[in-house]
Amino acid sequence: MSVQDTLLRAAAITKRYPGTTALDAVDFTLRRGSVHVLIGENGAGKSTLVRILAGVELPTSGHLEMDGHELRLASTRDADSHGIGIIYQELSLFPNLTVVENIFLGRELTRGRLLVDRSAQERLARELLQRLEQDIDIHAAVGTLPLGRQQIVEICRALARDVRVLLMDEPTSALSPGEIHVLFRVIRELKAAGVGIVYISHKLEELMEIGDEVTVLRDGRRVAAAELAAVDVNWIIENMTGRRWEPPPQQEVSGGAPALLRVAGLSVPGRVHDASFHVAAGEVVGIYGLMGAGRTELLEALAGVRPASAGEIRLDGQRLDRQPVWERIARGVALSPEDRQSAGLVPTFSLGENMTLASLARHSRRGCLSAAAERGSTLDLISKLHIKSTGPRQPITALSGGNQQKAVIAKCLLTSPRVLLMDEPSRGVDVGARSEIFEIARRLAAGGMAILFSSSDLHEVLTLADRVLVMAGGRITASFARRQFTEQALVAAASAKPGGLHDRT
Amino acid sequence: MARNFCLTLFACVLFTTACQQGSGGKKSIAVITPSHDNPFFKSEADAASARAAALGYSVTVNTHDDDAHKQDQLFDVAIAEGASAIILDNAGADASVAAVAKARAAGIPAFLIDREINANGVAAAQIVSNNYQGAVLGAQEFARLMGEKGAYAELLGRESDTNAQVRTRGYHEVLDKYPSLKLAAQQSANWSQTEAFQKMETMLQANPALKGVIAGNDTMALGAAAALKAAGRRDVIVVGFDGSPDVLAAIRAGDIRATVLQPAARIAVLAVDQAHRYLTTGSSGAPEKQSIDCELVTPQNVDQFGVFARK
Amino acid sequence: MTERDHALNAAPAARRIPVAELFFRLRALLALLVLVAVFSALSPAFLSSGNLVILIKHVAINAILAVGMTFVILTGGIDLSVGSVAGLAGIVAGGLISVGLPLPVFGVAVYFQVWLVVLIAVLAGTAVGALNGVLITRFSVAPFIATLGTMYVARGAALLISNGATFPNLFGRPDLGNTGFPWLGAGRILMVPVPIWLMVILGAAGAFVAARTPFGRRIYAIGGNERAAQLSGVRVNRVKLAAYMISGCCASVVGLVLASQLVAAHPATGETFELNAIAAVVLGGTSLMGGRGSVGGSIAGAFVIGVLADGLVLLGVSQFWQIVIKGVVIVVAVLLDQMQKRFSWRETSA
Ligand SMILES: Nc1ncnc2c1ncn2[C@@H]1O[C@H](COP(=O)(O)OP(=O)(O)OP(=O)(O)O)[C@@H](O)[C@H]1O
Ligand SMILES: [Mg+2]
């Protein structure tokens, strides 16, 4: 590559946190009009690197260059003025503000310097959403939107500004294939306009499709870099993990076990219509569907977080539908929610405190919390799930995104659930850890635990589930046993117009 | 629809009965005072309403809780109900002028008791106890009890309150004349018994040689007396101001040595009498500003006093 | 602002420089040490054992309120009714001792033994706390509004019970068997006044419950992220209800102590006490957003306020200055809290 092509360069960047070296002398070069993919296991330092490029944090040592000139970024305002935009891994939106307000927050379009030019903002916001082919009410409060749509708003926020460098930290973790497709179109347009893009994701197929170059980070060090065209998925995984990659062993389908969870005619007003299915002990069932299909609402209704208007939920024959959340947890139904920030984690707690929150009774002796018991089970799961941290006492907010996700799942596992509900469990989790989570879940399932998880990642569903339920428009439109499912069948069922199958919605 | 109609009808009936009560037969007097959680105001209101009832008026009693805005609303109600006269212990010397003027414009005379307003010729009468004279009286007795010498402490009322200022001025007018009387500590206890208790305890620590305490009102005197009793210092002389029934009891018990009685009940009765005269003859027969002297209560004469009045 | 906030969320430090951390964590204690040093230098009476005992006795009032208030604020709520509840509890006790419980049907009044009187008064205060909790959890009234309402209700109830008057001379009568009430405020155990014991016992119990029991952990979880807590099986409504009941209970203990000290119950007792308690809690490092803080900190905060108040009286400083100085101390404490956040952010990124 030629020097003139270089847009942004980071040289020997080191970032130390007390107890961790997040980045260790990392070099990184971004070319004009190209997509540079960053990949690495959870906690490898990807987010830290882009946060430094965006002026959110200062490196401990090392320096940045833009267009061949030294670049000093003391704040995100500096980065902004150099045309560097960022899409954060954890959404940085204000739930109480509307979509337009969020898109333009901090850089409102003004008339005469004082008045906010509302109509111009609204026009631009509509244009942006149109470009992303999204039909979102721009006056809706962001907090009322489902997570995927919030992510779209976050993306609009970055696009509202003319940028030369766009840093995208897992922008698609809550999007389904349709939206991702559109996003990729937009990325290609930006590329054509000469924008340099840094792209982080754990979805390997996605990276192969959109990326031009790849840099692999492992434990804060740059271990490899290449043109993507020259490498394959196995190369990436081997460099990420430092081990040869072996595909996870295909699980035996446990047939014939009795149904543990039975759901009949479950409805959530406007979201889920008349869902009936069952999950057998020891079975792993995936729910596949597009954004807005009602997967999250279904799982929330099962966990008791969202009231159902009709239907029956039975665990081992016992009615669950009238029980509050805590009672369902006590009976053995635990949910790992989709949005870990707003529903999964207590940000003021340490890693360990978060992990034991749902199983405090189990970690108490004679009415008092037992530090020893807490330590025992948290250390155990930290090592089993490879949660990269300095220990249970590390504040949860100091963990990388994927490791926070693992902490939420660990919390559910500590309740010893009989039915484990996981909404997009691998959001932000790296490939290796993804199969580990399911493996551990399966091992715990040896005692007869059933798993019901949702995913918008087709690949994940195909490799991990024994059986797949497909949802569309709030209805379960199909159910496939392992031997039956193919990509085409699933996609067809997911985009089925429910109106065709049923007379009314 | 039908329900709404019924409600409206019901409201109309209520309203007409209310109006009849107000305007029919009897003339009415509205009594408006600060909150009755202070027995002083309660006895004031009780005395006024008893007297008015005895004179054949129907009476409404309300409290403005020292909120000028609420007082204004109470005036509106009184005007709407067609009260013949208003007896008022007002919610602020300046803030109350407008309300009193409004009543006057509506043809309703207001008779002010206990506190003055900063305007002349608006109220039909302003009858107050003479705080300054009372303070001088109390201070003279205090000096006598102290033997005209020794260290003493003073508990002030809320420092932004006019009465607190007038009283402390009266005290010092007398006490500062005695060179051997030393003011060892001076603290505000905001008219509050609890606060007086705590401040007294602390002042006693700083000045173990205290011989006496003079308080700006009776609640503070009671707080100080309780603290002194708890500290086993019954030798310390306590003098209060107001003449509340609790302090009269404390004087009988020997915990407090003297207080100055504000004739609140007497003033209230006086105001009602003048209102009655005004309503029947067109003149109250007294000047607008009247100041009624306070009386000293000591163990010797305590049995002659009742609730804010001589028996 | 947005970006910075994001940075705050994304990267609070795992560990800070210990000295700086200690300084911020223990700011209430440090402030306390400074105050004690200043006052003992300025007034010889300050460090006398007699004065210290009285000082701690005064602190106890606010500290006991602050213990209950801490639980409420940790959940992200606020309790404005504590002052009124203290007044109500005092009046209930005062009424039961001096006029008994009138039973108009039988034309008699029942008098209770003092321990029963105390129990009934505490139950009354706890009931107001429960009312707060129910309004806030079942009817989703904002804590500020709900407790503002009960603040007036409780005060009004106290006035109604006593008809606005004070219940004086609460010594009880030997023939009725209800003597002994003054012991609560003026009694001593092992030379130490009872109110101080109450503070020590309630403070220790509160600190233990908050730090070492599942209930305490749940309180913190609700303040940290209520939704996540609920999804983790925390019975949010119940826990909040309990927090407000604890606050009501502590407030009624304070009311009893005050009435007992004065041997009289006045319905206006406790006005503006809620503000002192909130100030103590905030000074002690508890975040008004909930989720962070400690009972021990609140007690330290109560000591700062109490030492300041008594010290200034001891020095004979005027009321106006006392108010100004107290305000300044509170603002500085909260500023330090903000600085701590910013500081920790710099530490990680510098
Ligand atoms: N504020 C902090 N204090 C201490 N350690 C931190 C802090 N922020 C990040 N770290 C640590 O730095 C390392 C790198 O974190 P980073 O967020 O960059 O990982 P990542 O590659 O983005 O992972 P993921 O794929 O899970 O998002 C992790 O081990 C993390 O625990
Ligand atoms: Mg990350």
Which of A13, A20, A388 has most ligand 1 atoms within 8 Å of CB, for mutation? A20
Cβ of B165: how many Cβ atoms within 10 Å?
16
Residue B8 lies in a domain: yes
Mean pLDDT, residues A369-383 = 94
Between strands B295-297 and B259-261, the pairing is antiparallel
Indicate if the pLDDT at residue B259 is higher than 90: yes
Token pair 């440090």 is found at C30
For chain A, the domains span 3-241, 259-332+417-504
Which atom of ligand 1 approaches the CA of C10 most closely? 1
| Residue length of chain B | 311
Q: Are residues B136 and B106 in the same domain?
A: no
Cβ neighbours of B37 in C, within 8 Å: 159, 164, 267-268
Q: How many CA atoms lie within 13 A of C266 on its CB side?
A: 23
Show Cβ contacts of residue C257 under 8 Å, excluding neighbours closer than 6 positions.
Answer: C60, C61, C64, C184, C185, C194, C195, C198
Same domain, residue pair B165 and B284 = no
Q: Residue C186: list chain B partners with CB under 8 A.
A: 230
pLDDT at A497: 59
C316 near B CB under 8 A: yes
**Residues forming a β-bridge with C57:** none
Cβ distance A85 to A55 under 8 Å?
A: no
Region A3-241: CATH code: 3.40.50.300
CATH of the domain at B226: 3.40.50.2300
CB atoms within 10 A of CB B140: 17
* pLDDT (tens digit per residue) in A113-141: 778 888 888 898 898 888 888 888 889 99
**Parallel, antiparallel, or unpaired for β B58-63 and B28-33?**
parallel
Q: Which A residues, 89 through 118, put their C-beta within 8 Å of a C-beta on chain C?
A: 90, 92, 94, 105-106
Lowest-confidence pick of A159-163, A407-411, B268-272: A159-163
CATH label, C38-340, candidates 1.10.3470, 1.10.530, 3.40.50, 1.10.3210 = 1.10.3470
Ligand 1 atom with minimal separation from the A23 CA = 14
Q: With 90 as the cut, is the pLDDT of residue A270 above it?
A: no
d(CA C155, CA C163): 12
Cβ <8 Å between C165 and B42 = yes
| Interchain contact C12–A (C-beta under 8 A) | yes
Residues A330/A360, Cβ–Cβ less than 8 Å: no
User: Can you give the pLDDT at residue B20?
Assistant: 42
Q: Whose alpha carbon is nearest atom 19 of ligand 1?
A: A43
Assess if residue B270 is contained within a domain.
yes
Give the pair of three-digit tokens for residue A74. 């003391």
Give how many domains chain B has, as a whole number: 2
Report how far apart, in Å, the C-alpha atoms of A354 and of each of A374, A396, C84 are. Answer: 11, 8, 37
Spell A173-191 as b/e; 16+ CB within 10 A means b. Answer: bbbbbebbebbeeebeebb
What residue spans define the domains of chain C? Answer: 38-340
Rg (CA), chain C: 21
Are both B62 and B125 inside the same structural domain? yes
First CA to last CA across chain C, in angstroms? 19
Q: Give domain status of residue B215, yes or no.
A: yes
DSSP one-letter code for B294: P
Give the DSSP letter of residue A384: H
Q: Cα separation of B158 and B176, whole Å?
A: 22
Burial class (CB in 10 A: 0-12, 13-18, 19+), C115: exposed
Q: Is C176 left (phi over 0), alpha (psi -120 to 50) or beta?
A: alpha
CATH 3.40.50.300 describes domain A259-332+417-504? yes
Q: pLDDT tens-digit profile of A63-101?
A: 899 988 888 888 888 888 899 999 998 888 888 899 999
> Among candidates A97, A106, A92, A7, which has minimal Cα distance to A47?
A92
Q: DSSP letter at A430?
A: -
Kindly state whether residue B28 falls inside one of the protein's structural domains: yes
Residue B230 · residue C186 · CB < 8 Å: yes
Residues B16 and B87 in one domain: yes
* Residue A394 in contact with ligand 1 by CB distance below 6 A: no
Whose C-alpha lies nearest to ligand 1, atom 9? A398
Q: Which of A56-60, A359-363, A433-437, B225-229 bottoms out in mean pLDDT, i.e. has the lowest?
A: A433-437
CA geometry: angle B205, B210, B215, nearest 5 deg: 100
- Domain assignment of residue B303, yes or no: no
Looking up tokens 């009321």, which residue turns up? C319
Measured between alpha carbons, how far is A314 from A296 in angstroms, rounded to an integer?
A: 19
pLDDT computed for residue A478 by the predictor: 85
Pick A337's closest partner by Cβ from C221, C231, C348: C231
User: Contact at 8 Å (CB) between C155 and C267?
Assistant: yes
In terms of DSSP H, where are the helices of chain C?
2-10, 18-25, 27-42, 49-74, 82-98, 114-137, 143-162, 183-186, 194-212, 214-224, 226-231, 236-262, 273-283, 295-315, 319-349
Residue type, B233: R
Q: Which ligand is nearest to the CA of C10?
A: 1
State whether B156 and B230 are in the same domain.
yes
Distance from CA of C324 to the nearest CA of B (A): 14
Exposed (0-12), middle (13-18) or buried (19+): which is C129, by Cβ within 10 Å? buried
Token readout for C23 is 């300084």
Tell me the C-alpha distance between C283 and C276, whole Å: 10
What pLDDT was estimated at residue A253?
A: 53
What whole-number distance in Å separates Cα of residue C90 and Cα of residue A133?
67
User: H or E element: which one contains B190?
Assistant: none
Judge residue B251's burial from the number of C-beta atoms within 10 Å of its C-beta, 0-12 exposed, 13-18 middle, 19 or more buried.
buried
What's the gap in Å between the CA of A480 and the closest CA on chain C?
A: 30
- The candidate with the shortest Cα–Cα distance to A313, out of A289, A277, A341, A338, is A277
Instruction: Give CA–CA dist B133/B139, Å, rounded.
Output: 10
DSSP states of B88-104 as a string? E--S-TTTTHHHHHHHH
Contact B39 C267 (CB under 8 A): no
Look-up of token digits 């954060």: A88
* Co-location of B98 and B17 in the same domain: yes
Spatial contact of C286 and C260, defined as CB atoms under 8 Å apart: no
Same domain, B90 and B136: no
Beta strands B125-129; B110-113: pairing state: parallel
Does residue B304 carry a pLDDT above 70? yes
Q: Which residue of C has its CA nearest to A367?
A: C213
pLDDT of residue A259: 83
Domain that holds residue B38: 2-129+264-292
Confirm whether A3-241 and A259-332+417-504 share one CATH topology. Answer: yes
The conformation of residue C175, written as its DSSP 8-state character, comes to G
Q: Work out the mean pLDDT of chain A and round it to a whole number.
A: 86
Per-residue tens of pLDDT for chain C, all 350 residues = 333 333 333 333 334 445 666 776 677 788 888 889 999 999 888 888 888 999 999 999 999 999 999 999 999 999 999 999 999 999 999 999 988 888 888 878 888 889 999 999 999 999 999 999 999 999 999 999 999 999 999 999 998 998 878 888 888 888 888 888 889 988 899 999 999 999 999 999 999 999 999 999 999 999 999 999 999 999 999 999 999 999 999 999 999 999 999 888 988 889 889 999 999 998 888 888 889 899 999 999 999 999 998 899 888 888 888 889 888 887 887 777 677 665 544 333 32
- Are B226 and C267 a contacting pair at CB < 8 A? no
Separation of alpha carbons A399 and B163, rounded Å: 64
- Residue ranges of A 316-345 with Cβ closer than 8 A to chain C: 324-326, 329-330, 335, 337, 342-345
Residue with token string 């706390």: C129
> How far apart (Å, rounded) are the C-alpha atoms in residues B37 and B67?
15
The model's confidence at residue B92, banded by pLDDT at 50, 70 and 90, is confident
> Are residue B98 and residue B176 in the same domain, yes or no?
no
Interface confidence: ipTM more than 0.95: no
Do chain A and chain B touch with ≥3 beta carbon pairs under 8 Å?
A: no
Give the other-Cβ count within 10 Å of B283's Cβ.
Answer: 10
Is B299 inside a domain boundary? Answer: no
Q: pLDDT at residue A502 above 70?
A: no
Whole-number Å distance between alpha carbons of A494 and A505: 16
What confidence tier does B275 reach under pLDDT thresholds 50, 70, 90? very high
pLDDT band at B22 (very low <50, low <70, confident <90, very high): very low
* DSSP collapsed to 3 states, A280-322: ECCCEEEEEECCCCCHHHHHHHHHCCCCCCEEEEEECCEECCC
Residues B152 and B79 reside in one and the same domain: no
Q: What angle do CA C276, C279, C280 make, to 5 degrees?
A: 85
Clarify whether residues B147 and B241 are in a common domain: yes
Beta bridge partners of A217: A40, A222
CB contact under 8 A, A347 and C9: yes
Q: Say if residue B90 is in the same domain as residue B188.
A: no
In sign, the C-alpha dihedral spanning C18, C20, C21, C24 is positive
Kindly list the distances between the CA atom of residue A392 and the CA atoms of A349, A386, B97, in Å, as whole numbers in the listed order.
10, 12, 68
The alpha-carbon gap from C123 to the nearest alpha carbon of chain A, in Å, equals: 24
Q: Find tokens 């002398």 and name the residue.
A: A25
Q: Looking at the structure, tell me whether residues B116 and B141 fall in a common domain.
A: no
Alpha helices in A323-397 (DSSP H): 325-331, 351-356, 371-384
CB B32 within 8 Å of CB B66: no
Both tokens of residue A196? 């340099």
Q: In sequence order, which residues have a C-beta less than 8 Å from that of residue B236 and are 6 or more positions away?
A: B210, B211, B212, B213, B228
Chain C contacts of B197, Cβ < 8 Å?
261-262
